Every structure is written in C-alpha cells, then in structure tokens.
Structure 1
Amino acid sequence: MTAEQTAPMAAPKRGAAYQIVLVALLSLNFGIVFFDRNALNFLMPFVQPDLNLTNTHVGILASALSLTWAVAGLLISAASDKAANRKGFLLVAIVVFSLCSVLSGLATSFLLLLGARLLMGAAEGPINPISHALVVREVDPRHRGLAMGVMQNFGSNFFGSFVAPVLLVAIAAAWGWRSAFFLAGIPGIVTALLIWKFIDEPPAEEKSEGASDRLTLKEAFSYKNIVVCSIVSVMLVSYLVITWAFMPLYLTQVKGVDPGVMSWLMGTLGISATVGSFVVAGLSDRIGRKPVLVIIPFLGVILPLGAMFFDGSYWVLAVIFFFGWALNGCFPLFMATVPSETIQSPHIATVLALVMATGEVFGGVLSPFFAGMAADKFGLTAPLWIIFGFAIASGIVGLFLTETAPIKRAKAMEPTPGL
C-alpha cells in the first residue's frame, strides 16, 4: 500500500441497535473525560488567585496534561492493539481519571495541582483512540464519519464545553472550586459500569499473512494522509487548548465579563461543537473529508476576532462564538476518520493515537506554554492572535489531503460513460 492508497472497508460485525448503543456510551464517556479535563480551565478564575498562579503557570498546567495525554495515549493504545483487549484498557483508564479529578480538588499548591493534571492526562490519553478503534470494528463504513463525529464531539462538547462551564462555575461560586472538582469525579465511575455491562470486546481480527505485530513511525508517516492529519492536529489542538486556557481569563480580565456570563459564553462553544458532531461529520460522509477539512477551519478566525473587537450584546457575541467554534467538528475527521480509512485496522488504535499524540505534544504541550509566556509579556490578546493564525494555516494544510470518504471512492471507481 502506498501513501496515496486507502485501507479497505470492513463490513460491520453487529446490528444497528448495538452500533447505536456503542456510539452513545462511548460518546457519553468521552464527554465525562472532557468534563474533567476542562474543569480546571473554567475554574481558573477561582483557582488562579487562590493558588497565586501566573499566566505562565496556567499554560504549564495545560501543557502538562497534554504531554502525558499524548505519551500514554500512544503507548497504551499500542498495547491495547497488541493485547486485543480494548475494553479492559478502557475501563481501567476511566476509573483512574475519575480519581484524578478528586486529587485536583485536594491540591493546595501549583506543584500538587501539576501532579494531579499529569496523572489525569496519562489516564485520559488512550480513551479516544481506543474508543475509535471499537467504532471502526463495529460501525458500518457508510456511516463512519457521522459515528466518529458523534463519538468524539457530541458528548465531549455537550458535557465538557457546555455543561461543565455552566455547572462548575455555579458550584464554585456557591461552595468553592474544590467542591466542583469533587463533583466532576463522580460521573466517570457511572460510565465505567455502563460500558462494562453493555459493550463487548470485538472478536480478534485475523491478520494477513506476513503482517507485522506493530506499526513503526516510519511506516505510519509513509502515508501522506497521516502526515497531513498530524500537522492539522498540531494546529487545531493548539487552537483548542489555547482557547480553553486563556479565553475565560481574557473575557473576565480584559473584557470585564462577569464569571457567570463568561461561563455561558464558553458554554456556547459546547453547543456549537455538539451540533457540529452531526453537521460537520455528517457533511463529510456526503461531500468528502477533504472539502470539510479545507473550508471549516477558516471559520475559526471568527472567534478570536469577535472576542477582541466586538463590544455589543453578549447574545450576538455568543452567536459569533457559536460559528467560530465550528472548526471543532473537524477533530474526529483528522484524528480518527481519515487515518482509519488510510491504514489497515489491526493497528488502528496505534495510528489514531499517533496523530493525537503529535497534536498533543507539539500543539497541546508547547502552544499553551508559549501562549502563556506571550500573555505575560504582551497581554491576554496575544493568545487570541495565535489561534487566529492557526485557524488559517490548518485550512491551507488541508489542501494536501487525499480523499478517503467511501462515497467519493465509490464514484472514482465508477466506469466513465462511453468507455
């Protein structure tokens, strides 16, 4: 298989009802993951003065979680591929990250909070690639884009970007930020029980003769699509993490927005991405992955420009945030759908983790650190200009993608009339 070819589509092993339950539970679980991951960002206006954190500290905390998220995601996902026991790895990870939320609430200093975030990242990292590997094995390829979009974006954004800021800020205002962290640790235990009961480990896939037990970095990056997806991952993960880390601070400290209003504005991002989990991912099933990955990222410039230059109604600003955050709907495409349609499935969790890890290390780790330093030196507008640039660059890189959508591949294989 060359860098321009794509992997064959395997037939689904289960009925439609099981496919729906699988995607729903995995989406709910990933929602709890982001509820816990994002909790610190939305609670930062309360945490920062209490623990005497600088903007550089804020960036380091975001970077730390991304670092262990990336490393553990790659190593543990590869182990789950080799052991063919993705469900077991998934359950352990869920329980551990839930306990880490409680540890965050117990932190009394920057270093203790840093330790809790490092451990949380290690537990949460493998959840997304392992979950997508289950979706690839069980869901009809014709609906793969939509299924992966819902799995990664619906729960994560409804709970992590909408419910989290509204609920956690309200709890922090009433009972303190530590209580909010304690609450965030409970739902993960519930989802672990549901997954244990209702999701089965797919049967082991037969390996082709001569197939390797592992996928090397050289082999993975010999595929052009994996290179393109990894570069887009760096840029859009940077956009995502910087926005989460610094937009709440910009709104409250520069724009003078009340924390309660800030929580609703940030919650608008969750509504946008929740809708996008159907619209953007479903659109890619119909018109192809490449047009979506080229056009949608450019909408991301609306968000920082609106935050910096619009001074009217908060309702209008919420609309600006809604459309600006539409680029979030691209994440399942470059992190899961396109890679899974490019490389054979025995290594699917590994390659998805590789794309995710590249984005998390070079985007999630480095970008918030430098954005924090820029904010300390130039002010909180600096991170917003940084994400403006990333939105434009990612759309340009998408031009180099090779199309993988089944509907486009089927049309390409149709005989030309008259021949």
Structure 2
Amino acid sequence: MITGTARSGRYQVWVTALLSLNFGILFFDRNALNFLMPFVQPDLNLSNTQVGMFSSALSLTWALSGLLVGRISDKLGSRKPVVVVATVAFCLCSFISGAASSFMMLLGARLLMGAAEGGVMPVSHSMIVSEVAPERRGLAMGVAQNLGSNLLGSGLAPILLVPIAVAAGWRTGFYLAAVPGLITAALIWFTLREPPAEVHDDASPRVTLREAFSHRNVILCALISILLVSYLVVCWAFMPLYLTKARGFAPETMGWLMATLGISAGLGSFVVPAISDAIGRRPVMIFFSFLGVILPLGGLYYEGSTWVLAAIFFFGWGLNGLFPMFMATIPSESVDPRLTATLTGVVMGTGEVLGGVLSPFFAGSLADAYGLSAPLWLMFGCTILAGILTLGLIESAPRVVARRAVPAMAFGA
C-alpha cells in the first residue's frame, strides 16, 4: 500500500488520478450503448422511445444507488470497499449487455448497471475531500469526475467501439468494455487506503441534511443538476442517431464528432474547475451554462465544414466541466464537509431521477412524434434555464471568499 500522510502531494495525485481512471472506465461502459445504438437499434428492432428508455432506466437506478450508497458510506465511514465492489459489479453488467437478445433483456442489464455505478462518484468525492488539500479541492474533484469519464467515456469510446462494431459486431464492444474495470478495482483495493475520519471541534455542531437543504446553493445545485443532466443524457442518447439519420453522416464521422465532446470535457475537467478556484464558482457556472446553447444549435443549423462543426461541439460541451462543481464542490463548500458523499448522492440523484430518467423518455417520445431534431431543442431549453439558475448562486470558492473577507475585516476595523 502507498504510504504517506493524508495530504502528501504524491498520494493526493495518485488518489485523484486512480479514481478518475476508474470513473472513466465506468462511463465507457455507461456510454457504450449510446455509441453502439446505430447498430443495436436495427438489430433489436427498437423504437426511439425504447432507445430513450435505456437511458431512463440506467439513470433511475443510478440515482437511487447514489442516494442510498452515499448515505450508507457516510454513516459507516467505509469508502474504499464500496468503490471496489461497485466497480466489479458494473463490469459484469457490461458482459450481460453484450449478451442481450431482446429489448427487455437489455433494459434489465441497464437497470443493474445503473445500480452498480450510481454510488461510485459520491463516495469517490468523499475520499477526495478527506485526502486533498482544500485549496486544490475544486481541481481534484473536477479531474476525478470529468477527466477520465470524458477522455474514456466520451472521447475514446466512440473512436474504439464504432470500428469494433463494424468489424466484429456490437456485442463484442460490450465484452471488451468490461475488462479494464477489473484492473482498476484491483488497483484501488491494493494501493488506496481507507481515508481517515475527519476530526471536528464539538463546538461546531454538525449540520443536518435538512439544514443543508435550507441553504440556497444546495437547492440551486439540485435544480441545475436536473437540467444539465437532462442536457447530457439526451445528447448521449440521441445525438449519434441525429447525426447518422437526420444529418446523413457516416457512422465513423459520427464517432469522431462525438469523440470531440470527450476531448472537450477531458480538458474542461481540470481547466474549468481550476478557473473557478481562482476567480470563483459563480461566474464560471454562469458563463459555461449559457455557452452550452451553441452545441444543439450547431447540430441543427450549421451546414458547413465538419471541422467547424467539431469546433462548435468542442466549445459547447465545455459546460461538462461544471458537473463536479454543482454536484459536489459547491454543496460541500456551502455546508458541513462531512455531508459530502450524502449531498453529492442527493444532488446527483435528483439530477438523475428528474433529469436523467424523465428527459430521455420524453425526448424519445418527442423524436417519434416530431423527428430527431426535437431532442436537440430540449437540450437548448435545458441549458438556458440552467444558466438563469446560476445567477442566484452564492460564491463558495475558498480563495475568493477569503479575498473578499480581507477588505470587509479591514473596513470593520
């Protein structure tokens, strides 16, 4: 086992990198069906509504798992075993997805996969809060949640899985996607320690979950989560179909256009939170939420160079860098940090249930009724509403709050 104090620089980097890699493999498995859908849909004779139901099903059990596992982990003070067991479980679910021969069998596999994966990120964030110094917490949480998940789950997945599906069939893609998680599960078990329990002064009583949800930031983050999770899952579920069916792109072209999103989010995973560490969470949340409108509008209306369309996708997807901020960083900075796993599970779970579950089913119904452009308009509305909500956030970045406190103290003196 790696040795060192809880906040030694080497160990902080290793914890963040390994948890980021693990979550990236998890998202590779989660997104595999979306990128393979142009092959799966005709093979299993699926409607657009059924396509949306796969995302809804996974989001439902993902959310319930996040709510329950995060809470249980906080109460028991046990984190590493939870992440390891969940990682092995979602690998097995990927094998089951590859073996599916009907809509119901594949739907069941997605339900099980969501249950396995949902608790991983809340508990991972809790481990990072315990091990990483506060001044680097935003960056570390951004890297853990977004770097691996987007480089692997959104970047590498379409580039790798589409050619595999063309050459060897879509089932082979699911089988191959399951293997790497077994490796990271072993690395987590043998190289990470159980994070030390936080020691708090009894003079500062713990904030209850009910009191936490009376804070404006927690409520707003939960609402933003609903909207931006909807934006993401609708894009993952329907953008590949829109690009191939409505726009007429070849599957290979669709694959690298979708990979652009992964590259964007991979860079944004540390750039966006790092900027927020320096200038504040609120202005970054506002800017990138509104920037997200260019992606659906570009998909709908831009008819020029594919390279320019890729650039539009790249910059529009920059809002993905906000996810660790509104799901974990801002809530944990606003209330008692001992509630990190619980709040992350609640905020993520709220987004997954009301956004991730309902929006793809709704988008699929709209697509069946009005065409594949309807889900993109749904994305447009979600990011506009999220941008409006960010205007009400209270700044929570430690450096910015500290800088603002100095003049206030001087004035008071």
Which residue of structure 2 lines up, in the alignment, with residue 273 of structure 1?
A: 265
The alignment status of 1:58 with 2:51, answered yes or no, reads yes
Q: Which deviations, in whole Å up to 9, do the C-alpha atoms of 1:114-165 show, x marking residues without a partner?
A: 0000000000000011000011111111111111111111000000001001
Instruction: Decide whether the 8 Å contact of 1:234 with 1:360 is kept in 2.
Output: yes
Q: CA deviation at 1:82?
A: 1.0
Which residue of structure 1 lines up, in the alignment, with residue 146 of structure 2?
A: 153
Instruction: Decide whether the 8 Å contact of 1:296 with 1:330 is kept in 2.
Output: yes
Query: For structure 1, which runs of at least 5 residues remain unmatched after alignment?
Result: 1-11
Query: For structure 2, which runs of at least 5 residues remain unmatched after alignment?
Result: none
Instruction: Decide whether the 8 Å contact of 2:207 with 2:336 is kept in 1.
Output: no
Which residue of structure 1 lines up, in the alignment, with residue 159 of structure 2?
A: 166
What one-letter code is carried by the residue in structure 2 that aligns with 1:344?
Answer: D
Counterpart secondary structure, 1:341: helix
Which residue of structure 1 lines up, in the alignment, with residue 310 of structure 2?
A: 318
The alignment status of 1:255 with 2:240, answered yes or no, reads no
CA distance in 2 between partners of 1:315 and 1:234 (Å): 31
CA distance in 1 between partners of 2:177 and 2:201 (Å): 44
Q: How does 1:118-137 map to 2 (within 5 A)?
A: 118-137=111-130
Q: Which deviations, in whole Å up to 9, do the C-alpha atoms of 1:19-68 show, x marking residues without a partner?
A: 00000000000000100000000000000000011000011110000000
CA distance in 1 between partners of 2:270 and 2:135 (Å): 14
Q: CA deviation at 1:197?
A: 1.4
Which residue of structure 1 lines up, in the alignment, with residue 331 of structure 2?
A: 339
Q: CA deviation at 1:219?
A: 2.8
The alignment status of 1:73 with 2:66, answered yes or no, reads yes
CA distance in 1 between partners of 2:205 and 2:46 (Å): 48
What one-letter code is carried by the residue in structure 2 that aligns with 1:27?
Answer: S
CA distance in 1 between partners of 2:374 and 2:98 (Å): 30
CA distance in 1 between partners of 2:244 and 2:76 (Å): 48
Instruction: Decide whether the 8 Å contact of 1:207 with 1:346 is kept in 2.
Output: no
Which residue of structure 2 lines up, in the alignment, with residue 44 of structure 1?
A: 37
The alignment status of 1:84 with 2:93, answered yes or no, reads no
Which residue of structure 2 lines up, in the alignment, with residue 239 of structure 1?
A: 231
Which residue of structure 1 lines up, in the alignment, with residue 404 of structure 2?
A: 412
Which residue of structure 2 lines up, in the alignment, with residue 374 of structure 1?
A: 366
Q: CA deviation at 1:207?
A: 5.5
Instruction: Decide whether the 8 Å contact of 2:273 with 2:325 is kept in 1.
Output: yes
What one-letter code is carried by the residue in structure 2 that aligns with 1:296?
Answer: F
CA distance in 1 between partners of 2:156 and 2:54 (Å): 22
Q: Which moved more, 1:207-216 or 1:303-312?
A: 207-216
Match for residue 202 of structure 1 among 195, 207, 232: 195
Q: Which moved more, 1:115-124 or 1:312-321?
A: 312-321
Q: Which deviations, in whole Å up to 9, do the C-alpha atoms of 1:337-386 show, x marking residues without a partner?
A: 10111121222101110000000000000011101000000000000001
TM-score by length of 2: 0.96
CA distance in 1 between partners of 2:21 and 2:403 (Å): 35
Q: CA deviation at 1:317?
A: 0.8
Match for residue 397 of structure 1 among 386, 389, 412: 389
CA distance in 1 between partners of 2:222 and 2:203 (Å): 27
Instruction: Decide whether the 8 Å contact of 1:241 with 1:364 is kept in 2.
Output: yes
Instruction: Decide whether the 8 Å contact of 1:169 with 1:260 is kept in 2.
Output: yes
Which residue of structure 1 lines up, in the alignment, with residue 23 of structure 2?
A: 30
- Aligned-residue RMSD, C-alpha: 1.5
CA distance in 1 between partners of 2:162 and 2:332 (Å): 37
| Aligned positions, number | 407
Describe the shift of the 1:380–1:403 C-alpha distance in structure 2 as closer, same or farther (beyond 3 A): same
Q: CA deviation at 1:213?
A: 9.1
Counterpart secondary structure, 1:185: helix
Q: Which deviations, in whole Å up to 9, do the C-alpha atoms of 1:167-195 show, x marking residues without a partner?
A: 01111110000000000000100000111
CA distance in 1 between partners of 2:107 and 2:212 (Å): 32
Instruction: Decide whether the 8 Å contact of 1:245 with 1:368 is kept in 2.
Output: yes
Describe the shift of the 1:220–1:188 C-alpha distance in structure 2 as closer, same or farther (beyond 3 A): same
> What is the percentage of aligned positions where both structures have the same residue?
59
What one-letter code is carried by the residue in structure 2 that aligns with 1:247?
Answer: M
CA distance in 2 between partners of 1:401 and 1:327 (Å): 16
Q: Which deviations, in whole Å up to 9, do the C-alpha atoms of 1:263-313 show, x marking residues without a partner?
A: 000000000001111211110001000001111111111111111111111
CA distance in 1 between partners of 2:198 and 2:276 (Å): 27
Instruction: Decide whether the 8 Å contact of 1:14 with 1:139 is kept in 2.
Output: yes
CA distance in 2 between partners of 1:254 and 1:314 (Å): 15
